[in-house]
Every structure is written in structure tokens, then in C-alpha cells.
């Protein structure tokens, strides 16, 4: 179990070269990331396997869950703590059958209805966004901030709900003011001059601006 996770970091190989994966992950963890996901879009499974095998020990040492984006079979084989799946990546039941009862399974959601559906289906946590336009989700329209408070009240009070998409240190106060309590930040951390300090700055703001919530298994 991890209690009240606030900062969900993503090691995205679209921003971080494989050669820097361990150094960057160590910096994210050192800065206070509560969960760590490997996202490796358009990478072959050999690369994903290789990087995962190097990152899991770092996460274990830090006591932070390691989540693989997509690939529940590979996540199970490699001993990941969980998997994150999108709206088009199948049902929770299928992923749970592959992963087992004790693993963390998260879902991307892009609307209030999808967030409610993920809660009803039984996902352990959700991502909610993208709040702002972001190259990470090219072609997907931003959903804005208006529904965050309702989503937090109906879903985020019961399972961790991480706002995601175009969030940066400069707009984080705006996101928190709209009602967010947990966030995923990708490019603003990965491209920071000092990744550890950037993550620590975000974590400090979240600790001041959030309230206790649900646990992730």
C-alpha cells in the first residue's frame, strides 16, 4: 500500500533517452515522486523490457510502486507493481486476470463520465485529462479545469485521481485552485535543468495544497 500519493512521475522515453533512464528516475524518486510509470510509446518490447529491468530496483529501493504503461502481460512477467491502460486498451477484468488481484491497475479518463465509469468498474486509480494541450497527447483536446472539483468529489474522494496533461510548475497553483489534489507532470520535470529539484518543488506545493485521500493498493 502507498498512502495518499500526490506526485505521479512518468519516465517517458519520448523525452528521456534510454541512456539517461536510470539517472532521471533516481532524480524523480529523490525529489519525492510517490509513483513512477514507464511510458515507452513506439518502442519495441525489447527496449521496454531492458529499461523496466533497470528501473524496478530503483523503485523498490525507494518504496515507490513501478507502473508500466500498457503491456499487462509484460508487466506481470517483469514483476511490475501495476499497469496503466487507456480507454482503448481493454477492460479491467482482462487486465486483472493477467496481473492478479494484488497489482495496481489504473485507467486514463478524459471526461467526468469516463472517470465515473472507471470508478464503477473498480480501477485502483485514474488519470484525468489532458487538462491543457500537450504534445504527449497529440490530437486529444484539452478538457480544461471546470470538472476537476466534481471529479474529485465523486471519484477522487474514493480512489486516487491524478490530473494530467500540460501541467507545469507555473500552472500547478491554478490546477490546485480548481480542486485537484494529485497530479502527473511529465515534460516539465523531465526537461528541467535539475530534475530532482523540480520534482521536490512540485511535491512541496502538493503537500501544502492537498488534503488526505484514498490509498492505492
Active-site positions read 39, 108, 137
Taking phi first (over 0 means left), then psi (-120 to 50 degrees means alpha), and beta for anything else, what does residue 152 get?
Answer: alpha
Neighbour count for residue 44 (Cβ, 10 Å): 9
Helices (H) then strands (E): counts for the chain: 9, 8
Give alpha helix (H) positions in the chain: 21-30, 45-62, 72-78, 92-99, 112-121, 148-151, 172-177, 187-190, 195-209
Cα 154 to Cα 30: distance, rounded to the nearest angstrom? 32
Amino acid at each position: 500500500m502507498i498512502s495518499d500519493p500526490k506526485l505521479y512521475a512518468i519516465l517517458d522515453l519520448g523525452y528521456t533517452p534510454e541512456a539517461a533512464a536510470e539517472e532521471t528516475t533516481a532524480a524523480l524518486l529523490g525529489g519525492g515522486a510517490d509513483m513512477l510509470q514507464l511510458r515507452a510509446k513506439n518502442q519495441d518490447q525489447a527496449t521496454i523490457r531492458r529499461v523496466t529491468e533497470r528501473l524496478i530496483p530503483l523503485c523498490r529501493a525507494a518504496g515507490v510502486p513501478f507502473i508500466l504503461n500498457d503491456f499487462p502481460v509484460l508487466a506481470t512477467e517483469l514483476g511490475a507493481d501495476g499497469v496503466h491502460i487507456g480507454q482503448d486498451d481493454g477492460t479491467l477484468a482482462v487486465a486483472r486476470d493477467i496481473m492478479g488481484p494484488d497489482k495496481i491497475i489504473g485507467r486514463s479518463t478524459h471526461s467526468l463520465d469516463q472517470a465515473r465509469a472507471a470508478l464503477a468498474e473498480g480501477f485502483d486509480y485514474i488519470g484525468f485529462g489532458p487538462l491543457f494541450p500537450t504534445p504527449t497527447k497529440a490530437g486529444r483536446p484539452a478538457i480544461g479545469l471546470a470538472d476537476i472539483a466534481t471529479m474529485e468529489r465523486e471519484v477522487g474522494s474514493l480512489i486516487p485521481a491524478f490530473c494530467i496533461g500540460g501541467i507545469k510548475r507555473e500552472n500547478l497553483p491554478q490546477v490546485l485552485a480548481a480542486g485537484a489534489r494529485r497530479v502527473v507532470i511529465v515534460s516539465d520535470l523531465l526537461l528541467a535543468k535539475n530534475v530532482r529539484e523540480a520534482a521536490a518543488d512540485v511535491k512541496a506545493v502538493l503537500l501544502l495544497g492537498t488534503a488526505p485521500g484514498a490509498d492505492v493498493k
